[in-house]
Each structure stands twice: as structure tokens, then as C-alpha cells.
Amino acid sequence: MESLYDVLIVDDDYTQAHFVEEILSALGFTSKIVLDGRRALEEARAAKPRLTIIDIIMPGIDGLSVCRSLRPEADAWGGKLLVASAKDGSVEEPRALRSGASGFLEKPYSLSKLREAVGRLLGAAPKGRVAVKAGVRVTVWGSRGAGKAGTSAFGTRTPCVSVGLPAGDLLILDAGTGIRDCAGALAPTRKLPPITVLLTHYHETHVEGLKGLALLARPDASLRVGGPRDPDVAIKDLLMDAGARDAVATFFVDEAVYRISEALTVRAIFTNHPTTTVAFGIEAAGRKIIYCPDSELSDGDEEVDFGNNFERLRAFALGADLLLHDAHCAPEDAVKRPGHSSWQGAVRLAVQAEVRRLLLFHAAMEYPDDRLAALESAARERAAEEMTSLRCSMARDALTIDF
């Protein structure tokens, strides 16, 4: 049974996982990283990798439980399991072998021992083969709140973010006015990739870019649009009013997991914002990206979180490479803007979820550039006070991040 790639790396420590990925690539093997145990089970069963390297301490399901669950199925497709841990090897290695592993590696990884274990279990990669490393490109096409502004260094488009993969998959998140620039960038492309548009909700700033959008009428576009169930909005009617072709497929998004393609998985979670609103978690090429443009969070630990909104989002965003989160207003304005957060809530979430990079998203359109720059500086200072490696900045139109 053919594997989609050679090695699945299961580790919530991205630095360690990336080290393994680089070594495997140098040896000529293809690989993919996932960051939690539950996702590892789904991914392994779908991809059937020749080797799965599993850390013991994982969010969701621990590595030994993953190993025990996969062993019978991996035997069927010819896969091997290798357990890794920073825990005492004299104790954990026998437990790993009893759980069905073919070997054990101590962490931090030894280059020589990693090479030896991979060679023993997989042999040499085919001669002349070069492992192609997948990448992810995130582009902010729009990020501001409702209203009109003349010019701004931070941009004046309303929310739209794209997530693209070299394999061709393209995900577009929200359809504010920024989607017009996104569609314009795609216009010269002769062969479009399959495109999925996901809407977080149906407030005007998140759908206003659909009206008259040429992409919706393009006959060669393989296009589908999804969004949450809302008693007041029908996605099909929304698209029809915008001039879309009948062939544009629609679907509802619930709080669930969606496999957009072999390379792209999306999770949805409801957020604290007026009308039915969701946030999206994207997993692609071993990266985790959280898009949460409308979400009211408290600014401090002292406030009681009766809805458990903060903890749910913290678990959802845990270990993300990039978090785009609602920072619509200054802390002093938050009481006047229910359904939104300030930079304080966004930074607090990013720090406690151990996020690597935070983009402060959906800033109020009426804020001038000097005020936005001051809010950005305050957020960076707070992140530095927390003694984390978190990178923090205000979202800007046309900002591109490559992983």
C-alpha cells in the first residue's frame, strides 16, 4: 500500500520536530509534522507513512497510546513506529517496545543515533531522490474593521487572508474587501488551484468583497464556499446576489474537523461574538495557523470567564506557529465594543497558548496610524515582559509570511 510520504513526525516541540525534518530531508526522505496525538492518529491512518516517530508527552493523546492504537494498522500497511522521549530511557524504552514500537530514541536527538535508527528501519532513500519540502504562504489581503479611511500604512481593506501550499491548494479566509486584491492576484493564473473560501460569519465587513467578484463567475475556477449555520443567512443566496455561477459549491461549517485536501486540514471552533461566528485552525505542511478575527476575550486573569471562552481558545491555539486574533480596539475602548478584544486579550492568549507569532487583527478603521503604532508597541512591550519568544505585530495589508 503506497504511502503519501516516508515519515510522520509527531511532536509538539516544533524545534525538535523541525530538526528531525531537516535531517530526514538531507537523507532524501519526505516527511510531515503534526503537533498532537489525536491528529497523529488521523494523519497516520490517512497517509500510511513508512515510519512514524512519536514523542511520548503529547497534547490530546500520549505517544505510547498512539503507538498501541496504530501498531495493528501499521503492521497491515508495513509501517514502523519509533518512540522518542526526554524521559529516562531505562524506564521508557521497555514501555515503548511493549507498546509496539520498533525502537526508542532519547531526546534531545543525537544526529548519529537518529540516522542509525532511520537507516535501520527504512534503509537508504532511493538514489538520486531529492526530498521536496512543502511550505506554507500566508498573505493578509485585508485586516481592518468597518468604516472608511483615506490611506494608512496598516491598510484599509476589510478581512481576507489566504493560506497557500506549493501543491496548489488555496484557502481563502473571509471575504471582506481584501478578497478583491486576492482575486486580482489570481486573475493572470491560467490554471487555478482548487479554492476553498471559509467565512467566519456574515457581518458586512466579512462578506462585502463578494459583490461582483469576478472569481465567482470564472468558468474554470474549482470553487467552494463554506460558513457557519445562521438562521438569518443562506450561503447560496449570498453567492447568488454576488453574481456567482451555479457551479460554486457551498457547505456548512460546524465545530468539527474538515479535511480540505490530503495536505490541508481545518478545524472550526465557535467564538464569543454576536451572531454565529467561528474561528479556524489550519494545519498544513507541519504548520499550525489560527485565524480568529472576531472574539471577545477578557484582558486579565482576574476577570471571571463564565463562558470558558479563553480556555477553549487557548487549547485550540496551543503551540500555533501563527495566531491572527481580534485586537479591534484599545483597552480603554473595549467596554464600548462588545464582541471584540483589545491587544491585551490577544497577547495574553498568545503567551498562554505558547504561540510563536501573533498578528493583531481587525483594528478599528477610525484609529489613525500613530495610534495603531502605539498599540503595537504596547503589545510588544507586554510580550517582552512575559519573557517569551513571541513575535508580535499589527496586521497589515499585503503582509506575506512564508513558512
Grid cell of 32 as nine digits: 510531515
Whole-model pTM? 0.71
Is-contact 294 271, C-beta < 8 A?
A: yes
- Cα distances (angstroms) measured from residue 348 to each of 299, 352, 360: 7, 6, 12
Predicted local confidence at residue 1, as pLDDT: 53
DSSP state string for 74-123: HHHHT-EEEEEESS-HHHHHHHHHHTT-SEEEESSPPHHHHHHHHHHHH-
* Amino acid in position 287: R
Q: Which domains does the chain have, with CATH numbers?
A: 7-122 (3.40.50.2300), 137-402 (3.60.15.10)
Predicted local confidence at residue 317, as pLDDT: 94
Query: Can you tell me the distance from the alpha carbon of 102 to that of 109, in angstroms, rounded to the nearest whole number?
Result: 17
Grid cell of 326 as nine digits: 481580534
Which residues is 402 bridged to in the sheet?
137
Query: Can you tell me the distance from the alpha carbon of 175 to that of 157, in angstroms, rounded to the nearest whole number?
Result: 10
Query: Can you tell me the distance from the alpha carbon of 336 to that of 96, in angstroms, rounded to the nearest whole number?
Result: 55
Predicted local confidence at residue 378, as pLDDT: 96
Query: Can you tell me the distance from the alpha carbon of 180 to that of 355, in angstroms, rounded to the nearest whole number?
Result: 30
- Cα distances (angstroms) measured from residue 345 to each of 53, 109, 189, 301, 310: 36, 36, 40, 10, 9
Residues 6+ apart with CB under 8 A from 271: 200, 277, 278, 279, 292, 294, 295, 296, 309, 313
H helices of 234-275, in order, are: 235-242
- Show pLDDT as tens, one digit a residue, over the chain (403 residues): 567 789 999 998 877 887 898 889 888 898 888 878 888 898 899 889 999 999 999 887 899 999 999 999 999 999 999 999 999 999 999 999 999 999 999 999 999 999 999 999 999 876 655 555 557 899 999 999 988 877 899 999 999 999 998 767 899 999 999 999 999 998 888 888 999 999 999 999 999 999 999 999 899 889 999 999 999 999 999 999 998 988 899 999 999 999 888 788 999 999 999 999 999 999 988 789 999 999 998 766 555 565 678 999 999 999 899 999 999 999 998 777 788 999 999 999 999 998 999 999 999 999 999 999 999 999 999 999 987 889 999 999 999 998 8
Predicted local confidence at residue 134, as pLDDT: 54
